[in-house]
Structures are given as structure tokens and as C-alpha cells.
Amino acid sequence: MLIADAAQVADGKLYILGGGLSVVGPAPQPIGVAIRLEVPWDRANVAHEWRIELLDEDGHPLMIGERPLVVQGNFETGRPVGSRPGTPLSVPLAINFQAIPLTPGKSYIWQLSISGETHSDWRQSFSVRQNQQTDSPNAPRSAS
């Protein structure tokens, strides 16, 4: 999983713009999540469900209004003609979000699950920059 400015799937490949984000903001910005799933040979032609959710630094779902930020879908991959038995099968996913309301100075985690199962390495964390106060040398100062 990789956090990016944007991601797209075309012809079975991931196209990633501005990949490898670990710090964003503080202003809201579009965020893409690029995921490459590796399906074992013996799990080909089997329906799977994927789900990503955004968690806050305490592991709680990020709520947008009264709903958690969750995206889910299904995938199924077949074995390409001529592939060697035992070869893992690749499934690329790209999910793009418009500006997500994130709190400056906080950290977040994208958590992936497949068919209800998740692992600690199916997580990608990032943080949001603090709002910076601009102290211009010519700015009026308050009296103490």
C-alpha cells in the first residue's frame, strides 16, 4: 500500500502521482491510496472482499459526519494463460479521495482488510503538518 497525491489502474498496472506521502497538509488535499494485492495461486477464481478504512492515531475510525471513512469492494482474479503454476497473481487497486478533513498535528492510518482478515503490515500511516503561525517582522505585535 502506498499513499500518493493520486493513483490510477490501467492495463493491470498502477500509475502513481506523487507516491510515498508520509506527511500531508495542513490544508485539506486530495489523497490517493495505491494497493497491489498478491493473490496466491490456489486462491484464483475465488471472490474476495477488500476494505480500507482510515483510523486516527488512537486506532478509532475517522468519522465523516456520522459515518466512518470506509471504502470496500470485491475482486476475483483468474490465472493468465501461460502463467507458471504457483505464480502469485497481482491485483492492483487505486482509491482516490478529494480533500479529507484531517486535524493538523495528528497522525492517521489506512488499514486494509481482505475477506475480514487484516495484518499489521497491511497498514500505512501518515501525519498532518501543524498549522504554522506566520510571524512577519512587520506584523503588529500585541501589547503585554
Structural domains in the chain, CATH included, are 2-128 (2.60.40)
Q: How confident is the model at residue 132 (pLDDT cuts 50, 70, 90)?
A: confident
Q: Give CA–CA dist 110/95, Å, rounded.
A: 12
Q: Give CA–CA dist 82/29, Å, rounded.
A: 43
Say what the pLDDT of residue 83 is. 87
Say what the pLDDT of residue 144 is. 44
Q: Give CA–CA dist 110/35, Å, rounded.
A: 11
Q: Give CA–CA dist 68/56, Å, rounded.
A: 11
Say what the pLDDT of residue 114 is. 96
Over residues 52-78, the pLDDT tens digits come to: 999 999 999 999 999 999 999 999 999
pTM to 2 decimals?
0.85
